[in-house]
Structure 1
Amino acid sequence: MRGPGLPPLADEEIPESLAKVIEAWPYNLHRTLAHSPGTLLKWLPYGEHILKENALPFREREIAILRVGWNCRCAYEWGMHSLVARRGGFGDADFEALCVGADSPHWTNGEAAVVAAVDDMMRDWTISQDVWARLAAHYAPEQLVDLVWLSGNFMTIALQLNALRVPLEEGLPPLPDDAPLYTRATPFVTGS
């Protein structure tokens, strides 16, 4: 999937209006989005809110993000959030369980429901009644809304990262070789 894409802007190419943004966020993602200053400037506050002001606990947030990255074969998302998760206490068993899915005995019931919800959303574009019931047993309504928005946001980011072919940052953990490329279980239906 890697190859020619839209190159991240070098320091000398960054528009003056984005200098402070890139100073704070010097990553290839932000340098690539700097090709469209308006998009980057509008996306950052939204992304910050979805990620950092989310009602979900840190662990569940990172489980959802990493499962999206794994399902989408998004090496950048997986790598960046693997580092974040490790700094937050994730160990090898957590990453192994992310590659297995909701059936891994490693997860708590709530964590397994988060993984199942991400898989449902990516496969079926909804969450099954069974998974909703499992989620509702562990998380408040605000957390459920935030889980859906967080997952949807990171699905979009994975698409953008892969489509723009944003180069990986140096030293990122690799995406596991057996990560699937999720496809819809049912085709889009046009007409009736």
Structure 2
Amino acid sequence: MSAQPATAKSDFRISPIEPPYSNALSDTFVRVMPPGVAPLKLFRTMARNPRVLQRMFAGSFLDQGGITLRERELVILRTCFRCNCEYEWGVHVAFFSQKAALSKADVTATLENESHSLPDNEALILELVDQLHGQAQVTDELWTALARHYSDEQLLELIALTGYYHTISFIANAAGVQAEEYAPRFG
């Protein structure tokens, strides 16, 4: 007998939890969401397994790291695009593109094969994401070019950030998390 796919009452494969939330979960949502913004559908979906949700927050790269906010967001947007995760791409465009000083052309560059509109170091970051996504490896040529702009510590952060957002993309895509109403789409 073959396994049957899970059926859901909505388009979600795993439906987000609905309020009222436990005190602990409410506190978590308040800590990670901007004031007045409802918890993301992704967070509410992951709350079905509180351990996974807590581990995701524990491993977050949304703090002040060794790369700029702009560089971080370029990595996240390109990774989400390469993973076909319109959900997370849209959330990051909505919440972070203005803070990261990303123009509409910069955001569009994360969706294209050519990134001529970006400075050289940022175009290299997108190429790093592409190589990690495509081959799980980085060529010596790209590594040498990146090393002219970034320290070993920064390179490790860029690699880890790419991997982290692969995981987020896998969860959002596989669980069928639906787009937030305010988030832009790829098209």
Query: Aligned ranges for residues 95-114 of structure 1 at < 5 Å?
Result: 95-101=107-113, 103-114=114-125
Structure 1 runs (4+) deviating above 4 angstroms are none
Query: Aligned ranges for residues 67-82 of structure 1 at < 5 Å?
Result: 67-82=78-93
| Alignment counterpart, residue 52 of structure 2, candidates 13, 22, 39 | 39
How far 1:109 sits from its partner (Å)? 1.2
Query: Aligned ranges for residues 120-135 of structure 1 at < 5 Å?
Result: 120-135=131-146
Q: Check 1:87–1:53 CA distance in 2 against 1; reply closer, same or farther (3 A cut).
A: closer
Query: Aligned ranges for residues 1-192 of structure 1 at < 5 Å?
Result: 3-12=11-20, 14-24=21-31, 25=33, 26-47=39-60, 50-83=61-94, 84-101=96-113, 103-176=114-187
Q: Which string of whole-angstrom CA distances, capped at 9 and with x for unpartnered residues, describes residues 14-40 of structure 1?
A: 334312112334111111111011121
Asked whether the equivalents of residues 73 and 175 of structure 1 are also in contact (C-alpha less than 8 Å), the reply is no
Higher-helix-fraction structure: 1
How far 1:111 sits from its partner (Å)? 0.6
Asked whether the equivalents of residues 73 and 100 of structure 2 are also in contact (C-alpha less than 8 Å), the reply is no
Q: Counterpart in 2 of 1:184?
A: none
Q: Check 1:166–1:4 CA distance in 2 against 1; reply closer, same or farther (3 A cut).
A: closer
With 119-128 and 17-26 compared, the bigger mean Cα shift is at 17-26
How far 1:104 sits from its partner (Å)? 2.4
Q: Write the distance in 1 (CA, Å) between the matches of 2:108 and 2:51.
A: 39
SS at match of 1:70: helix
How far 1:163 sits from its partner (Å)? 0.4
How far 1:115 sits from its partner (Å)? 0.4
Asked whether the equivalents of residues 28 and 167 of structure 1 are also in contact (C-alpha less than 8 Å), the reply is yes
SS at match of 1:89: coil
Unaligned runs of 5+ in 2: 1-9, 34-38
Q: Counterpart in 2 of 1:179?
A: none
How far 1:143 sits from its partner (Å)? 0.5
Instruction: With the length of structure 1 as denominator, give the TM-score of the two structures.
Output: 0.83
* Paired residue type of 1:88: A
Taking every aligned residue pair, what percent have the same amino acid on both sides?
A: 30
Instruction: With the length of structure 2 as denominator, give the TM-score of the two structures.
Output: 0.85
How far 1:173 sits from its partner (Å)? 0.6
